[in-house]
Structure 1
Amino acid sequence: MTDRRPRIPRRPDVATLELVGGRERLVVGLHEADERWADTFLEHRRRILDALAPVQVGIEHIGSTSVPGLAAKPIIDILVTVDDITAEEDYLDALLAAGFELRVREPGHRLVRTPARDVHVHLFERDDPAVPEYLLFRDHLRSDPDDRALYERTKRALIARQWDDMNDYADAKTDVIVAIKARARARAARDADPDGGTQ
């Protein structure tokens, strides 16, 4: 039986954004889809599980490299869910000891990455609303060729520009991502109720 009691954080979460190393220019271009990205995810999934054992975590491959056929920056994004984001001693120390480096500490989210910056590990609490949003977007792009093509066109148009901050490039995709997720939610609603609620 699942425990439904509200989770009480061990301590208050951070209140501001800490960006270790400051702003970084976007210097990596798009690469054609590569089947090896899935293998790289599995390799780092095992590395994370080994580092965090016996802590129970969820691990998902997210981002463009998780979508077969989609061109992407060759950076593997991994979503890890933990019970309490404020309990950094349960996960952060172990990941740093395993060779990851802290990049972002902000409310509800931590980001560690490899020294080569080719794997980004995003940490959230299990019930954070960002988690299903990442999975909704990934799963929709995996199954909808039109929106997958739209997203790739958008990325190609944006990557051609110079970006002094990688976060600005990410922000520039927001409108397209919001529109795609709206279609994903509408499709999920139709799939859940194919008769449209009629008898």
Structure 2
Amino acid sequence: MGIRTIIVLPYDAQWKQDFTAIKAELQEALDGLALRIEHVGSTSVPGLSAKPIIDIDVVIRDESMLEAVIAALGRIGYRHEGNYGIAGREAFGYEGKEHLRDHHLYVCPLDSPELKRHIAFRDYLRSHPEAVHEYSRVKEEGAELYPHDIDRYIEHKSPFIEGIYRKIGI
């Protein structure tokens, strides 16, 4: 696979349109199985620097929906990859999506703590421009310091994220 370089770019308004295109494809395939499809992660926050990968949470009523969702997503090229050790969040990989921006797809039941964290963090940043500025700085610095080490990059930005979680009571 080779060495991957961590690239953090300034906010790009195109990310919102990229999410909309992915969401439309997902909605058609899921045909009512999802309660909603949320744009989460850094690309969902105007003004925030980010790796140009769209993070998406498909919200389902509960775990009983998962099997039907896995089948529906499988029909359009997504494969279920399990929860990667994070309860309440099922990850999906994909092939044949060259027409869409790179993205991470997760399926979360409505009562998922991980979903709650994603939404609360996003919404906090959307309403706190000073936090957006600081988080952009931290992420850009991490990408510069650790351009080929995703674990160290994540470790670098973790204190900022944990600080926001404390502020919002998560």
Q: TM-score range by the shorter chain?
A: 0.7 to 0.9
Equivalent of 2:143 in 152, 156, 159: 159
CA contact (8 A) 2:61 2:110 kept: yes
Mapped to 2, the partners of 1:25 and 1:102 lie a distance apart of: 25
SS in 2 for 1:79: strand
Question: Hey, what's the Cα distance between the residues in 2 that align with 1:169 and 1:72?
Answer: 12
Larger Rg: 1
Whether contact under 8 Å (1:51, 1:98) holds in the other structure is: yes
Give the 3 Å change call, closer, same or farther, for CA 26–108 of structure 1 in structure 2: farther
The equivalent of 1:98 in structure 2 is 76
Q: Which runs of 5+ in 1 are unaligned?
A: 1-22, 187-199
Deviation at 1:90, TM superposition (A): 1.2
Is 1:126 matched with 2:74?
no
**Whose helix proportion is higher, 1 or 2?**
2
The alignment covers a number of residue pairs equal to 163
Give the superposed CA RMSD: 2.6
TM-score between both structures, scaled by the size of structure 2: 0.82
Deviation at 1:130, TM superposition (A): 1.7
> 2:91 is matched with which residue: 111, 126, 137?
111
Paired with 2:37 and 2:63, the residues of 1 have a C-alpha distance of 15
Unaligned runs of 5+ in 2: none
Distance across 1 between alignment mates of 2:27 and 2:93: 15
Cα distance in 2 for residues equivalent to 1:58 and 1:152 = 28
Cα distance, 1:167 vs structure 2: 4.9
